[in-house]
Amino acid sequence: MFSPDTRFVDGLPTALIRPLSGGAARGMMVSTMAAFGPDSFASKLSGIFQGASDTTFYVVAVYFGSVSIKNTRYAIGAMLLADLVGVITSIILAYLFFG
């Protein structure tokens, strides 16, 4: 019977918190490394998440605020979609390199 590989689930908390807070994502990565070991698949995936994305809402607040853009309209949706694509791509690359 086919059993799907779900090792990526242990690294997802880092990916979910990354758009909100860079410091919290770093803390989640360190927590994952402490719980599973630094050489585990989840830890390597958390490291990829940490390095491959940026804090979406920080970017909106700082960069859009610096040029006085008040209406972000579709920017937040597009940025969150890019985060989702980054998460999926990170999972694929983690399986490809560390699988």
pLDDT tens-digit map of 10-67: 999 999 999 988 899 999 999 999 999 999 999 999 999 988 888 888 888 888 889 9
> Residue 1 has what pLDDT?
64
Contact 49, 90 (CB under 8 A): yes
HSE (side-chain half, CA atoms, 13 Å) at 32: 27
- Any idea where the domains of the chain sit in the sequence? 7-98
Residue 97 has pLDDT above 90, yes or no: yes
Mind listing the pLDDT tens digit for each residue in 76-86? 899 999 999 99
Contact 43, 32 (CB under 8 A): yes
Count of positions (residues) in the chain: 99
- Strand ranges (E), 1-99: none
- Per the model's pLDDT, the better-predicted residue between 72 and 44 turns out to be 44
